[in-house]
Amino acid sequence: MASSAPSRVVETLRDEILNGTLAPGARLRQEDIALRFNASRQPVRDALRQLEGDGLVNLVANSGAWVSKLSESECFEAYQMREKLEPLLISRSIPNLKPAQIQRLTELVSEIERATDLEQFLRLDREFHLLSYAGAAPGMLREFVERIWNTTQHYRRAFAKLSGFATSEVTHMEHKLILDGIVRNDSAQAERALEAHIRRTRVTLSEHKEIFN
Amino acid sequence: MASSAPSRVVETLRDEILNGTLAPGARLRQEDIALRFNASRQPVRDALRQLEGDGLVNLVANSGAWVSKLSESECFEAYQMREKLEPLLISRSIPNLKPAQIQRLTELVSEIERATDLEQFLRLDREFHLLSYAGAAPGMLREFVERIWNTTQHYRRAFAKLSGFATSEVTHMEHKLILDGIVRNDSAQAERALEAHIRRTRVTLSEHKEIFN
DNA sequence: ATGGGCGAAAATGTATCCAATTACAACTTT
DNA sequence: AAAGTTGTAATTGGATACATTTTCGCCCAT
């Protein structure tokens, strides 16, 4: 069964924004999108509004829609929020993670360590974090964290590209600390390790302002 | 000049949800709203999507729209997020507050202390907090905090009603501590005072689960 | 009497058409 | 020549009509 037209548009455009096909600032014309999906402009407008709600698209009345763009300070702010919210989320998730999920998380840490190309690294790293929250109940907290991930994804890529997708030893150590907290069902340690990981990432990122040009 | 049809709908419905005219769980039929605003259903659909983005409305495909409802644990979670995010926001706001705004904040603390009815108290308290963030740059952080305020507003009212809108001495003291931090340009104190205020409110709220029936 | 399925009514989803707004460009004016 | 103005093209906003989906009452069968 095929999902509704707006859903298809939302899913596709979201993917293209996250994987970099659509760069921040790119214009989104309703008619073009409608033609592309063999639909009329109404479902497209619905889809654009949904994407706006996800923070991925900016709509300006009587003017048009563009892929969202973060300034340096906005990106910094997003990381500060992550630092506060993600630890809360992971601590709510850990007690509910199933053995199979923990197994997968363990594999992911190894795979990330052995990742050879940038897109692979980004995909695995994202999967690791999103899966680590899989035990948390759906709700505002999860929604907010996922939105932060989505809106900063482009800058994560830009930063990784700049530093030769610097999968430094530090990153691996941090991942292992987080994983250890998960495996040992020690929410407090996972929280601390995750917070430290995000904080270091934020500080490192703030030393590469050239991403935002 | 009158703003666009969707804006009028969004503004009006948002007000009615916040002031309690529309209770959580109330159904929102597109046709009814369209008739009421002398518009067609398209602008109404746009408006509902925007309200969904604000977390005030739930849309279910092919079924309908309802005013958002929080469970006890969701409301608790929202307060935990407030506790983490609001202090961050107020510390970013304080350096940019203008003298006139600080003056108004001072007045508000007094007015809150003398508030006689429930709706007045809710309105003044809300104005105090929102104004205390007025110095912060627009962005995700501010958006998130405002969304938390909006989605929890109904439960703030229910709780205040239950406890005789308990404007306890503790509340006044906390407000004064926050204000003192603002006046003395001491962001750190304001942060601490605000966090303590929210935490106490959260704990108190969690002792009144009957609100969520 | 109760449970399940069927059908009609009602609400949402989509397409097409027209109106309103905006942006751009050419033109006039100083 | 530069700045302001006006007109036209392009794009979005809104309304009407139609299709699809869901829902709920009703009937029938067990």
Average pLDDT for chain A:
93
Model confidence at B56: pLDDT above 50? yes
For the segment A58-69, the average pLDDT, to the nearest whole number, is: 93
Q: What are phi and psi of A51, to 5 degrees?
A: -65, -35
Q: Which of A69, A75, A81, A82 to mutate to test the interface with B (most CBs of B within 10 A)?
A: A81
Nearest residue to B133 via CA among B91, B75, B168:
B91
Structure tokens at B187: 């962001």
Would strands B27-28 and A57-60 be described as parallel, antiparallel, or unpaired? unpaired
DSSP annotation string for B68-92 = ----HHHHHHHHHHHHHHHHHHHHH
Residues recorded for chain A: 213
B59 and chain A in contact, CB less than 8 A = no
Largest CA distance in chain B: 54
- When pLDDT is cut at 50, 70 and 90, the band that residue B72 belongs to is very high
Q: Which nucleotide is nearest to B61 (CA to C1')?
A: C12
Q: What is the pLDDT of residues B134-176, one digit of tens each?
A: 999 999 999 999 999 999 999 999 998 888 776 678 889 999 9
Please give, rounded to a whole number of angstroms, the shortest distance from the CA of A49 to a CA of chain B: 6
Q: Which of B41, B49, B51 to mutate to test the interface with A (most CBs of A within 10 A)?
A: B49
Model confidence at B1: pLDDT above 50? no
pLDDT number for residue B166: 63
pLDDT number for residue A2: 56
Q: What is the pLDDT of residues A66-101, one digit of tens each?
A: 999 999 999 999 999 999 999 999 999 999 999 999
Q: What is the pLDDT of residues A112-158, one digit of tens each?
A: 998 888 999 999 999 999 999 999 999 999 999 999 999 999 999 99
Model confidence at B30: pLDDT above 50? yes
A52 and chain B in contact, CB less than 8 A = yes
pLDDT number for residue B162: 85
Please give, rounded to a whole number of angstroms, the shortest distance from the CA of A175 to a CA of chain B: 24
pLDDT number for residue B4: 84
pLDDT number for residue B167: 64
The answer to whether the Cβ–Cβ distance between A148 and B140 falls below 8 Å is: yes
Residues of A in contact with B61 (CB under 8 A): 4, 7
pLDDT number for residue A167: 64
Question: What domains appear along chain B, each with residue ranges and CATH number?
Answer: 5-67 (1.10.10.10), 72-212 (1.20.120.530)
pLDDT number for residue B53: 95
